[in-house]
Structure 1
Amino acid sequence: MHTNDEMQALLVDTVRRKVGYPLRKKVTLGILGGVAISLGFLAAIRAMAPLTALQSPVVSLIGASLFPVGLIMIVFTGQELATGNMFVLGYGALNRNLGWLRYFFEVILITLLNGLGAILLAYIFGHYLGLTKVDIYGKQVATMAMSKVTPSMPMIFFSAIGANWLVAMGVYLGMVAKDTIGKIVAMWFPVMIFVLIGFNHVIANFFLLPAAYFNGTITLVQMLHNLVPAFLGNTFGGLLLAASLYFTKDKNNA
């Protein structure tokens, strides 16, 4: 595994690489990142629905175990994920590798691109092919979507803080590990935990909520009721609960 000094250098190099991508590359990697997260979520839904119908006690555990596949695909293929960037680029902003306006521009841009990829997958695979629409799968999506849009906006905000604190931990631990298996295991468990708890992840919700909307389960207003505080909470968690703490730790060790 990487030492603390190596991790500081690796984080700074990652920030400079991400910020230096040309716009066309960011667009491609951002859309693909949203697709990857959605594929992991789609797999979870397809596995959970039959178990829900059987009233199995392991429904949530199975779904949470499959969801991290999306993050693993993103990391190993070099795609872009907004929630990961909220942490990594936040570390760079605190370290003065980029300005704060650039930080928020990058985060918002990749969020929108991830969202586009997620919505495309929700429509093509979920709605058009019926993978999140028919029979027990539509019911599973409806149940999960309602659990996301029913809580108050402050509750969604704080839930999203927890989600991205765990995602950031998974990203950081994945960077610490040097070998492939170590990276997979290090990323898997923090992400699995946030899904098992039921925290709000804005990019995952960019897949789930449109899938429910295409089924006629929720409205656009309900989608925004979740996505806005989820984005703000994810940003807060990635920046203040993750980036600032790791940055402070590194400076105190210097």
Structure 2
Amino acid sequence: MAYVVPTEFVTKMVDAGESKLLMSTRDTLIRAYMAGAILALAAAFAVTVSVNTGNPLIGALLFPVGFIMLYLMGFDLLTGVFTLVPLAVLDKRPGATWGGVFRNWTLVFLGNFAGALTVAVFMAIIFTFGFSEAPNAVGQKIGHIGEGRTVGYAAHGAAGMLTLFIRGVLCNWMVSTGVVAAMMSTSVSGKAIGMWMPIMVFFYMGFEHSIVNMFLFPSGLMLGGQFTLMDYLIWNEIPTVLGNLVGGLTFVGLTLYSTHYKTAPKRALS
């Protein structure tokens, strides 16, 4: 499992950011759609495992399979482009602009949401036999997750909003570490192991991931969760997106770029 040293994989990060920034609208949307759909399936799988075994740790151990699959296939999550794409502008790559960055983020958000929503509808149909009966145990669990992580935060007011935002920050610190970890090895097994560790941490700790929530909360609404669309947007999705942006760019993208790519001058020997 060949290890790639930090100075080399950070160069790969900047190159990846440039590639994603200059990608066509069609390809950006397709890759984002598939990423959102696969991650949503992984979330449904992890919740199912947790409910059926009664052990959330097992669900967290298995959830990373979806993340690994989508990144090995070259698909894009909003959390990853938050971290990588701005590096192309900071490095003054040809054609890289902040307008292009916001265009990329918007397209990936829309693609991820469409993919996750597709799976949310599919799983809601499965959990209710085509909406012909009450949700099964997994469907009920998803509805309760939606309640606890919207109105549950709202009940604490500003403190709840702060907690939500920080969970979003910590989430993309871990998720973007997983994105970068895929660049630390040249073998499939090495990439998979590198991605597995931080993704497992974020899922088990209950941190807030904007794309996972694009599945959990719309499906929760379809499955009878006692919260509203505005609860979801104001008390989860929007603060989570902002937290994910801050966490990934600050604690992963900028730190690695500044210390391994644009390193400070060495100290002179006295």
Query: Which amino acid in structure 1 is aligned with residue 143 of structure 2?
Result: A
The match for 2:256 is 246
1:80 pairs with 2:88: no
Larger Rg: 2
Query: Which amino acid in structure 2 is aligned with residue 66 of structure 1?
Result: L
Report the Cα offset of residue 143 of structure 1: 2.6
Mapped contact 2:50–2:56 kept (Cα < 8 A): yes
Report the Cα offset of residue 74 of structure 1: 1.3
Mapped contact 1:41–1:66 kept (Cα < 8 A): no
The match for 1:145 is 146
Mapped contact 2:4–2:185 kept (Cα < 8 A): yes
Secondary structure at 2:263's aligned position in 1?
A: helix
Query: In 2, Cα distance between the equivalents of 1:26 and 1:103?
Result: 12
The match for 1:186 is 194
Residue correspondences, number: 247
Query: In 2, Cα distance between the equivalents of 1:194 and 1:90?
Result: 23
Mapped contact 1:148–1:200 kept (Cα < 8 A): no
Which of 109, 116, 119 pairs up with 1:118? Answer: 116
Q: How do 1:40-189 residues align onto structure 2 when only pairs under 5 Å count? A: 40-52=42-54, 59-97=55-93, 98-124=96-122, 126-130=123-127, 134-149=135-150, 150-151=152-153, 152-189=160-197
The match for 2:223 is 215
Query: How does the TM-score come out when normalised to structure 1?
Result: 0.91
1:33-89 deviation line (CA, Å, top 9, x unaligned): 10011011011111111223xxxxxx2211111211121111111111110111111
1:204 pairs with 2:212: yes
Extract unaligned runs of 5+ from structure 2.
Answer: 154-159, 266-270
Query: In 1, Cα distance between the equivalents of 2:86 and 2:172?
Result: 13
1:175-227 deviation line (CA, Å, top 9, x unaligned): 11111111101000101001111000000000000110111212101111200
Mapped contact 1:174–1:187 kept (Cα < 8 A): yes
Structure (1/2) with the larger helix percentage: 1
Mapped contact 2:166–2:243 kept (Cα < 8 A): yes
Q: Which moved more, 1:200-209 or 1:95-104?
A: 95-104
Secondary structure at 1:119's aligned position in 2?
A: helix
Mapped contact 2:29–2:110 kept (Cα < 8 A): no
Query: Which amino acid in structure 1 is aligned with residue 114 of structure 2?
Result: L
Aligned-residue RMSD, C-alpha: 1.7
Mapped contact 2:10–2:256 kept (Cα < 8 A): no
Q: Which runs of 4+ in 1 moved over 3 A?
A: none
- Give identity over the alignment, percent: 28
Report the Cα offset of residue 9 of structure 1: 2.8
Extract unaligned runs of 5+ from structure 1.
Answer: 53-58
Query: In 2, Cα distance between the equivalents of 1:4 and 1:45?
Result: 35
Secondary structure at 1:175's aligned position in 2?
A: coil
